[in-house]
Amino acid sequence: MTTEILLQTLASGVLIGLIYALVAIGLTMIFGVMDIVNFAHGEFLMLGMYSTFWLFALYALDPMLTLPLTVLMLFAFGVLLYRLVIVRIINAPMLSQIFTTFGLMILLRGVAQFLWKPDFRSIENSAVSGSVKLAGLQLGKPQLVAGLGAIVVTAIIYFFLNRTRLGAALEATASDKEAARLMGIDSNRMFSLAWGIGAACAGAAGVLLSTFFPIFPDVGANFILLAFVVVNLGGFGSVTGAFWAGILVGVIEVMGGLLLGPQYKTAIVLVLFLGVLMFRPQGLMGKA
């Protein structure tokens, strides 16, 4: 095994890890603000991918051009879903919340299978097709653009949370809902915003993935499990933790597949997940 192969694999792990991070940031936003685990989060990513595919197939709109539109559509869908369904279970027992979001996952997946069949689809010849050589490494343009796009979206989320009044209100609601309510912050509005942002992050990840990953109704299942691992590893509710944990999980998965075999790469990540649960359940960047 040469140094070039190791560096190539490491770069691939970082790029896919950035996508994991973006998916996990949306998931951790919802949990951090509302303490609700959204099992339907992978289906938001799936809808983002299908939205991108149909805009490309029907109107020849490149995924990079439709990224803002898809993000807005998923944001609106997340807000609508909150107002129609989630608002009714905010104060319900945790088991009811779990069954509701799990039911949403099954419903959205079933609707996708009914509308678009279980066929695998792909986007060919997009603006980012091909490969590029950087620092002696051969990288696919779709993966490189997806990684850079994930960094940009994450930076926007970080700026929003840390540099805007609305972001500060969202953070205050996540820290102490009752205190935030006493300070005049509309918690219902913050919950709705959290669902919108969470869905938008998954939608953005779906757009970026659609340029190099197959599109099918169950595609969300490939990422939601890893997103849970990333959220747990980074610390529930921590956007920064999710970002770095996503990169770490991507590198571990790809390097493990190289060193031990592709059949073991998911098992390695799950072992890491169990280890974190046992020895540091709050996550690497979570509060003890």
Fold of 3-110+126-279: ABC transporter involved in vitamin B12 uptake, BtuC (1.10.3470)
Model pLDDT, residue 7:
87
d(CA 1, CA 260): 13
Residue 78 · residue 195 · CB < 8 Å: yes
Model pLDDT, residue 250:
93
Task: Choose between 56 and 138: higher pLDDT.
Answer: 56
Q: What is the pLDDT of residues 26-64, one digit of tens each?
A: 999 888 888 888 999 999 999 999 999 999 999 999 999
Task: Choose between 171 and 111: higher pLDDT.
Answer: 111
Q: Locate the domains of the chain by residue range.
A: 3-110+126-279
The pLDDT of residue 157 is above 90: yes
Classified as helix, coil or strand, 134 is strand
Rg (CA), the chain: 19
The pLDDT of residue 196 is above 90: yes
Q: What is the pLDDT of residues 230-287, one digit of tens each?
A: 998 888 778 888 999 999 999 999 988 888 888 888 888 888 888 888 887 777 766 5
End-to-end CA, the chain: 41
Q: Please report which confidence band the pLDDT of residue 1 belongs to, taking 50, 70 and 90 as the band edges.
A: low
Q: What is the mean pLDDT of the chain?
A: 90
Residue 241 · residue 286 · CB < 8 Å: yes
Residue 212 DSSP one-character state:
T
- Beta strands (DSSP E) in 55-162 are 131-134, 137-140
Model pLDDT, residue 287:
54
Q: Which residues pair with 132 in a beta bridge?
A: 139
pTM of the entire predicted model: 0.92
- Residue 242 corresponds to which amino acid? A
